[in-house]
Structure 1
Amino acid sequence: MTGKNWISLLLLGLVIACNTQPGQDGRQAGSEQPNIILFLVDDLGWQDTSVPFHKEQTPFNEFYQTPNMERLAGQGMLFTNAYSASPVCTPTRSSIITGKNPARTNITDWTLHNDPERMERTGQDYPVKSPDWAVEGVQPDSMLLTEVLKAQGYRTIHVGKAHFGALRTPGADPTNLGFDVNIAGHAAGAPGSYWPEDNYGNEEPGSAWAVPRMEDYYDSEANLTEALTIEANKAIDNAVEANKPFYMNMAHYTVHAPIMADRRYYEDYLEAGVDSVEAKYASMVEGMDSSLGSIWQNLKEEDIAENTIILFMSDNGGLSAHTRGTTPMGTGLNTHNKPLRSGKGSAYEGGIRVPMIAAWAERAEDHPLQSRFEIQPGSRNETPIISEDFYPAILELAGLDSGSAAFQSTDGRSFIPLLRSGKAPGTGEDRALAWHYPHKWGPSGPGYEPFTAIRDGQWKLIYFYKDQEWELYNLEEDIGEANNLIEEEKKVAMQLAEQMRAWMQEVGAQTPVSRETGDQVALPKISREMR
């Protein structure tokens, strides 16, 4: 056993010891534990729903059909400034299960092959390349959210996209990462196909993208999203039968590419005159929302809705127009997340700002859990939230004491106090959020470069490594990041740059590697000549 494994086991033992009273199996005295569903959608953009996360409704909100999301927002809290920890999948998912920012774990890019050279996406003419990052992804030697929840008596269930660890590593299988149940999760971040006649990608033997263990649906008419929903409801039923509280990571593959029609809804969009690509995409969004509704209904039928909290989020920003194939590559017409700029993979808001909702599945004012974790119905919160905040928030819901080792190990801050009052010192207003992506995602377009960014209040500073350039935006006045204020607001930029540099040093952030020298490039420079 490695030293890291011994340390993890010791820390987990401390978590159990600090939160266990005799005869209570790790549960707090007199407390009932809620069921917790993290409904994590893949690549769902801030504007990809009928729920308005912007100040006013947009044409996108009028186009997409997500009535169950609307209901969820109506009886819970909507977060307008929620962020993924990364503009791509694996780092965000790692931040939730580890509670740590990707820059600290060095899980800074999406993973598949446990080989840095195979994962490198910059050409020889690009001046920088990825550092020696943790390409293997999440592995069992961490104090994972799921392990701590199991110690608290929870059944832990994973459904859908995992994308935690690389192929042929222990982390590729969610059951090695603290999940009691794994339904269709493995290393890949996308399905080979959403359609049963393609066996969900298994028609090509040995494909890395083949969705595993869904053979029962090959001869059905069930889209992958629908099939996963059926399996999720079975897993909920089993947990109820076992009389155990459960944590479910309901992580749909949708709406990740390949963009394939959910045939339950596709024709409706075509008949309305919608372009084929956008009709397919909208049908996938509606299929996702239907899954939310189906699970919600099952909670009511099992009579556990009052005892179940749903946390809804996307793992990064939505695909921009050119990555959806509806505008030429490299153009500025990245409008699908408007008013946000650009999309998945980008340093700009379109790459990292995501939809987020928290709500009880059924409101009951006199319910002891809902009294303890009250959520104001139909409320909106503007506090900046980031995905590593889910780790302490979920542990708080599960009854873990804030002084425990698990709480002390996280970079996140629980957003649970916000649900009742809307404001809570130390939760968001007084801290900066930071992102570090020392890679090039792949496509060309706005912000698709290695970068580090920091947001403090209304200000957001970005450093791009390729050209060693700074950009500064006032998000309150310029949410679309169209007006770079680096020249006009040098004092603000200097302060943020100092915060950025200090944060990078504290977490041990890896900078990109210079192709010319073979060395990691220097930390962002701080000077009055910032440009």
Structure 2
Amino acid sequence: MINKIVLQTLVIFFLISLSYFQSFAQNREKPNVLFILVDDLGWTDLGSFGSEFYETPNIDRLAAMGVKFTNAYTASPVCSPTRASIMTGKYPSKNHYTDWFGAPQPWNFQNHWTRNKPLVPAEYTTNLALEEYTMAEAFKDAGYKTFFAGKWHLGETEEFWPENQGFEINIGGNNKGGPSTGNKYFSPYGNSQLPDGPEGEYLPWRLASETANFISKNKEKPFFAYLSFYSVHTPLMTTEELELKYLRKRAKMNLTDQFEPEYANMNRTTQAHAVYAGMVEAMDTAVGIVLESLEKNHLLENTIVVFFSDNGGLSTAEGSPTSNLPLRAGKGWLYEGGIRVPMIISWKNHIPGGQSINTPVISNDFLPTLVELAGLKESEIKYKEIDGVSLAQVVKDPSAKISRNELYWHYPHYGNQGGNPGSVIQENGWKLIYFYEDDRMELYYLNEDLEEQNDLSKVESEIASNLEKKLKDWLEKTGARYPIKRADL
């Protein structure tokens, strides 16, 4: 006969074990999230999005497993505003995150690099406010382990860096917009947030290895990992082997570097830059390292994977390393080449693979989408003031509709790459750009003119007028700041 004390002990042990396994099961019901953000990657810079020169087999496989968004936009033609929109779900203009953090402010416009331009650029906010409830904080509050690796560029000083914005681990994130210290893309990096590796170690592969190690160490609990590449931002640096590979490939394909001066000093019209191609492939290899870690740890079916770029490809300045054709212009411009980017959401066996969605979406949408897909009910309550809409139903059923008609952009600055201060509204395929230098409008019907070559503002004046009113109403509602005409100072 079993001793009473022994029996009580067994019962207690059973209840504790049951509670533990129930808790473990509940945790595993929460999907992991892996968010991959690339810097300056253009809309057609992937094989799965049309490139015949760059090789991206790992990302192409991710696209085949998930949903491709062919009409996806960044909230800005430059990096920091888009990154803020991902973290907050808000349009950058709402809190004046309208230029890349570190860009010159107009305090002393006589010494500003735009001093000979007709406008003084608008003042912008230089740090992602700590009062913002970020995507990382939402997952951390829900019990997720949070991890950041790579480019942050959302705060000038340390108190605004990832570890103070919801990330428990920060590898490499600081105020820099590119790898501008040390040996840049190769170790030693000279980055206070990233210990140097062996001499000659390549940065994207190091960031991928750090992310893969984090996944392996945290496979028993839900995690939110944010891999934010410095690639493929300048400086243009790749390995000798990859550069040689693409020099040979360029010769085999009879490609030459071609530029057209129509929209900027140098507008690249072919994808043929060997070093840039090597950077794209190295970034793809890094994505493969992380996906392999998910597969090795049997986590692929329980992990939502997002792939995105922070603005369009660099095609009109700084060496013009890529082409965004058929899109017009590139990074720093409000034309499609500056704001339309590749986007993929994959969740094996939960999202139908191989789908392509042409619904217009924007970087503000990630926060409510991931909150809903992961089932973070408490966080949904905290996000009532955001501008993004959830795409959760769309990724599960590509025929579903989302409850939004217009998209907006506000960029009251001169882009380093040649773009001018302006604001944009897009509705039902119509895109109106309002330029502040001369209070001029351009109107394009993207469904028939993706290249933005036929300005219809005079022909379709009623449509232009209606869109202009909606745009100005939205700008007033968000409290947007504007550039100032020098004659008004």
Q: TM-score range by the shorter chain?
A: 0.7 to 0.9
Alignment-derived partner of residue 233 in structure 1: 212
Q: Using a 3 Å threshold, how does the CA distance of structure 1 residues 200 and 493 change in structure 2: closer, same or farther?
A: farther
**Aligned partner of 1:251 among 223, 228, 244:** 228
Decide whether the 8 Å contact of 1:41 with 1:314 is kept in 2.
yes
Provide the aligned C-alpha RMSD in A: 2.7
Alignment-derived partner of residue 181 in structure 1: 169
Q: Secondary structure at the match of 1:265?
A: helix
- Matched residue type, 2:382: A
> 1: distance between equivalents of 2:363 and 2:427?
16
Alignment-derived partner of residue 117 in structure 2: 126
Alignment-derived partner of residue 456 in structure 1: 427
Matched, 1:431 2:409: no
Q: Using a 3 Å threshold, how does the CA distance of structure 1 residues 403 and 163 change in structure 2: closer, same or farther?
A: closer
**Aligned partner of 1:221 among 200, 214, 219:** 200
Alignment-derived partner of residue 156 in structure 1: 146
Q: Secondary structure at the match of 1:355?
A: strand
- Matched residue type, 1:181: I
CA deviation digits over 1:210-262, x for unaligned, max 9?
Answer: x3343341x3432111111111111112222xx32111111000000001123
- Matched residue type, 2:146: T
> 2: distance between equivalents of 1:467 and 1:197?
41
Alignment-derived partner of residue 47 in structure 1: 44
> 1: distance between equivalents of 2:131 and 2:378?
22
**Aligned partner of 2:377 among 372, 378, 401:** 401
Q: Using a 3 Å threshold, how does the CA distance of structure 1 residues 131 and 433 change in structure 2: closer, same or farther?
A: same
Alignment-derived partner of residue 440 in structure 1: 414
Decide whether the 8 Å contact of 2:312 with 2:338 is kept in 1.
yes
**Aligned partner of 1:268 among 242, 245, 262:** 245
Matched, 1:294 2:289: yes
Decide whether the 8 Å contact of 2:314 with 2:320 is kept in 1.
no
- Matched residue type, 2:205: E
Decide whether the 8 Å contact of 1:454 with 1:496 is kept in 2.
yes
Q: CA deviation at 1:115?
A: 5.7
> 2: distance between equivalents of 1:196 and 1:51?
29
Matched, 1:476 2:456: no
**Equivalent pairs: percent with the same residue?**
38
Matched, 1:33 2:26: no
Matched, 1:324 2:345: no
How many residues align? The count is 452
- Matched residue type, 1:49: L
Decide whether the 8 Å contact of 2:54 with 2:280 is kept in 1.
yes
> 1: distance between equivalents of 2:23 and 2:313?
39
Q: Secondary structure at the match of 1:316?
A: coil
Matched, 1:354 2:341: yes
Q: Using a 3 Å threshold, how does the CA distance of structure 1 residues 195 and 268 change in structure 2: closer, same or farther?
A: farther
Q: Using a 3 Å threshold, how does the CA distance of structure 1 residues 280 and 31 change in structure 2: closer, same or farther?
A: closer
Alignment-derived partner of residue 8 in structure 1: none
> 2: distance between equivalents of 1:27 and 1:77?
30
Q: Secondary structure at the match of 1:455?
A: strand
> 2: distance between equivalents of 1:342 and 1:396?
35
Q: Which runs of 5+ in 2 are unaligned?
A: 1-19, 258-271
> 2: distance between equivalents of 1:321 and 1:383?
28
- Matched residue type, 1:349: E
Q: CA deviation at 1:143?
A: 1.4
- Matched residue type, 2:85: S
> 2: distance between equivalents of 1:339 and 1:244?
44
- Matched residue type, 2:332: G
Matched, 1:344 2:328: no
Alignment-derived partner of residue 159 in structure 2: 170
> 2: distance between equivalents of 1:183 and 1:278?
30
Q: Using a 3 Å threshold, how does the CA distance of structure 1 residues 322 and 442 change in structure 2: closer, same or farther?
A: closer
Q: Using a 3 Å threshold, how does the CA distance of structure 1 residues 123 and 89 change in structure 2: closer, same or farther?
A: same
Q: TM-score, normalised by structure 2?
A: 0.86
Q: CA deviation at 1:24?
A: 13
Q: Which runs of 5+ in 1 are unaligned?
A: 1-22, 203-210, 327-334, 365-369, 519-531
> 1: distance between equivalents of 2:372 and 2:454?
40
Decide whether the 8 Å contact of 2:174 with 2:193 is kept in 1.
no
Q: CA deviation at 1:84?
A: 0.2
- Matched residue type, 1:75: M
Matched, 1:312 2:307: yes
Q: CA deviation at 1:36?
A: 0.5
Alignment-derived partner of residue 382 in structure 1: 358
Q: Using a 3 Å threshold, how does the CA distance of structure 1 residues 404 and 51 change in structure 2: closer, same or farther?
A: closer
> 1: distance between equivalents of 2:58 and 2:461?
45
- Matched residue type, 1:294: I
Q: TM-score, normalised by structure 1?
A: 0.80
Alignment-derived partner of residue 11 in structure 1: none
Alignment-derived partner of residue 143 in structure 1: 133
Q: CA deviation at 1:196?
A: 7.3
Q: Using a 3 Å threshold, how does the CA distance of structure 1 residues 387 and 234 change in structure 2: closer, same or farther?
A: same
